[in-house]
Structure 1
């Protein structure tokens, strides 16, 4: 029997980092409001990214870069100092670097996010309640939003926020499935990897940060055989270092707008840095603050140029690997156990005693079959909601409450996060934040990006 409708001021759909950070910001604002966070996991604050339990799965940014407080860049460093003093993460003391330069395990970062939520709840007149369920449908009218959960319960709120986080390709059902996930091992499932013959060949599709995690998982599972990686461009993430500060050259020259101009100037600045004996990552890191502006003011043609010609190199140079993980990948390459090939995945091949895939190597026209004992799908994040075979994205599309974002990256919204429907109307009740706004800002997944969005959206919701 369906329960009566429960009411709230704000309904947050998703209780990972995005939803939790929004809840924290709402709690910190004056006033008294009731907030419901709908998240099927047992805990808030973790989501896909921070549910990892292995210490080897670390953040790809050091503590100084990963604060959840947009007003205090040292918040994580300060929290981590107390956490280590209390005996948490004893392995950290084996790394001879300041706490601000540590790369914490993602599971510990989840503890940090949870503690900040608990502190905000204790000090606020508002309330936050975790509803452990999945949202399967959503309706918006002039005065409210109404959610239907997978248990049949309904919730009504003045506003609803899509804080759904990321849809990892390795764990996300696809509307047009190639069957890869059914045949593949989860990149983060170390226990499942212990069942692979430790001397056998493992195939990996994709060469980004998910691949790095998969290699760490294999190492922790005791795998000692060959690892064959297939990626369209054959690029590995660079290792993240701690470069010195560099002049913000984009702020000094607002005429730099197009992808070609940006790429030319970034290369020039990197050459200048290297000529002075300074790490090329120094000038590159100054670009980060301008990406949202550059992307949003670019035309569709320029955005397509960036995605087609610049994106692979931007991803490998900017989304860099944590040092310990990068050292593992480099060691396995030197030992000849890990090999990366520039090749496109062309599908699975039916096989009884192994996993066989079709690939087409760069520069070749023929498709080649490659066999291994196991396959890992490390192809990153699925941003096209039309391809995500989950109830809520499909229902939102069916009802016309959302439309794909630029280049089908996430969903369309205005600059404040108000969702744009299929007819181009800006919603007064439905909002989005974090990874769903990838098409709006390009970089909308990093902790600092989401923290800034959470603060701004909380202010808008309370002002309304």
Structure 2
């Protein structure tokens, strides 16, 4: 895989242009390379390596996957693919710390940086396979600033000056994390906060200083790990709207797929009632209640897509915080650190509504909150502030050139409940008039509004395979 020379672009047309080379873009490229036929694939990604993206560029070993190896295969046809790769990798000495966990390889939670190596290796394997039929993949290390659709495909303008022409393009932009994404209409939060994954910056803090964290999900766990590795030993205050924490991921036994047996379950209320009944049944039998919960995930896309907008709003308003807490679980090491900090009294979790950030004064930063049960605004100060509010899915609030351009040109429209962008079931993007594009597609996190769960490795792997097959036929 190589950075192509500028002269290769002006008079050539790319078969498939992939915008974004994180995990989504890399998996799509790998699946396209496995398809019969000869095609030229170009991936535009500003990072120096494909396959890592935002999530898997982490370098600290403490930042691990939140799913064990058996759940994280990038090959939809082989659920044991990551387990098999890890076995070879550990035998070669690449992860000696794995021996400390003393569990089968399938139950290990690898560092995210190591998972990025795995994704890159699988793309390299696919590149060899594609080469046999004349297919190629090129990495252009830049960012797409603008895109136009014409009668013969798409034309994109890159930040480095390249203009590319392609028969088809795919928006595989991945996740816009709140901590690293400029937000339209923001009140200075990004300028006042530390990156949750920047251990080197945290080493500059007063080790005993009070740290404030906004958000209590998985990014907060990462922030705690970063602070620990940076040598921070002071108090930590975490604020979130509901004050809920991620559950630890356990390894429950298998459970009957009760939703497959009861197709009448359709609404969020029916789903919640059925799940609660199954959890009570599991507990009565001495079975981990995560067992019935784990059977729900394969049905989420169907349940979400067939729900009305009213039912979706009900789910987001009333069920979403508990869904996130129960299903987006923490790896055991992170959960153990969280529990230890709570027991030591260094960590406090408080339910509060975010109101804004005050100007940084000297070595302190102040934030405004409304604590649960109170009407007045409370000001809290600390030595540092970390934004752990997860992912920004509303493209209208993302201050980046490509989302702004696509929305302004009417080439895309917000997805259901303003989550990501709208597309048809095959991934063809819908424009402002609701027309499905013949040359612009999307996959992964941008389709959150279509399928709800569109970020997990297994979800994206299945989308990549289906979209590659569709593109290969065209």
- What does the per-residue CA deviation read over 1:369-414, in whole Å, with 9 as the maximum and x for residues that have no partner? 1010000000000000011110000000011000000000000000
Residue number among 330, 333, 340 corresponding to 1:321 in the alignment: 330
- Structure 1 position 330 matched with structure 2 position 339: yes
Aligned to 2:273: 264
TM-score, reference length from structure 2: 0.97
- What does the per-residue CA deviation read over 1:387-444, in whole Å, with 9 as the maximum and x for residues that have no partner? 1110000000011000000000000000010000001100000000000000000000
Residue number among 162, 166, 169 corresponding to 2:178 in the alignment: 169
Aligned to 2:53: 47
Q: Which residues of 2 match residues 58-137 of structure 1 at below 5 A? A: 58-124=64-130, 125=133, 126-137=135-146
Aligned to 1:440: 450
Offset at residue 350 of structure 1 (A) = 2.4
Aligned to 1:145: 154
Offset at residue 7 of structure 1 (A) = 2.1
Aligned to 2:424: 414
Q: Check conservation: 1:203, 1:228, Cα contact below 8 A.
A: yes
Residue number among 458, 461, 464 corresponding to 2:468 in the alignment: 458
Gaps in structure 2 of 5+ consecutive residues: 1-5
Secondary structure, aligned partner of 2:248:
coil
Secondary structure, aligned partner of 1:249:
coil
Aligned to 2:232: 223
Q: Check conservation: 1:5, 1:153, Cα contact below 8 A.
A: no
- What does the per-residue CA deviation read over 1:205-258, in whole Å, with 9 as the maximum and x for residues that have no partner? 000000000000000000000000000000000000000000000000000111
Aligned to 1:391: 401
**2: CA distance between counterparts of 1:349 and 1:457?**
46
Gaps in structure 1 of 5+ consecutive residues: none
- What does the per-residue CA deviation read over 1:3-38, in whole Å, with 9 as the maximum and x for residues that have no partner? 735421000000000000000000011111000000
Secondary structure, aligned partner of 2:350:
strand
Offset at residue 122 of structure 1 (A) = 1.1
Offset at residue 178 of structure 1 (A) = 1.6
**1: CA distance between counterparts of 2:356 and 2:12?**
46
Q: Which residues of 2 match residues 231-270 of structure 1 at below 5 A? A: 231-270=240-279
Aligned to 1:280: 289
**2: CA distance between counterparts of 1:304 and 1:109?**
35
**1: CA distance between counterparts of 2:148 and 2:436?**
15
Secondary structure, aligned partner of 2:414:
coil
Tell me the number of residue pairs that the alignment of Structure 1 and Structure 2 aligns.
Answer: 464
Q: Check conservation: 2:23, 2:53, Cα contact below 8 A.
A: yes
Q: Check conservation: 2:20, 2:43, Cα contact below 8 A.
A: yes
- What does the per-residue CA deviation read over 1:61-103, in whole Å, with 9 as the maximum and x for residues that have no partner? 0000000000000000000000001111100011110000000
Aligned to 2:3: none
Residue number among 28, 38, 43 corresponding to 1:37 in the alignment: 43
Offset at residue 151 of structure 1 (A) = 1.7
**2: CA distance between counterparts of 1:290 and 1:4?**
46
Q: Check conservation: 1:6, 1:154, Cα contact below 8 A.
A: no
Secondary structure, aligned partner of 1:139:
strand
Q: Check conservation: 1:5, 1:154, Cα contact below 8 A.
A: no
- Structure 1 position 428 matched with structure 2 position 434: no
**2: CA distance between counterparts of 1:113 and 1:167?**
20
Q: Which runs of 4+ in 1 moved over 6 A?
A: none
Offset at residue 345 of structure 1 (A) = 1.1
**2: CA distance between counterparts of 1:25 and 1:123?**
10
**1: CA distance between counterparts of 2:463 and 2:151?**
25
- What does the per-residue CA deviation read over 1:324-348, in whole Å, with 9 as the maximum and x for residues that have no partner? 0000000000000001000011111
- What does the per-residue CA deviation read over 1:277-301, in whole Å, with 9 as the maximum and x for residues that have no partner? 1000000000000000000000000
Secondary structure, aligned partner of 2:185:
coil
Aligned to 1:339: 348
- Structure 1 position 403 matched with structure 2 position 413: yes
Residue number among 168, 171, 179 corresponding to 2:188 in the alignment: 179
**1: CA distance between counterparts of 2:324 and 2:151?**
41
Residue number among 13, 16, 25 corresponding to 1:19 in the alignment: 25
- Structure 1 position 310 matched with structure 2 position 316: no
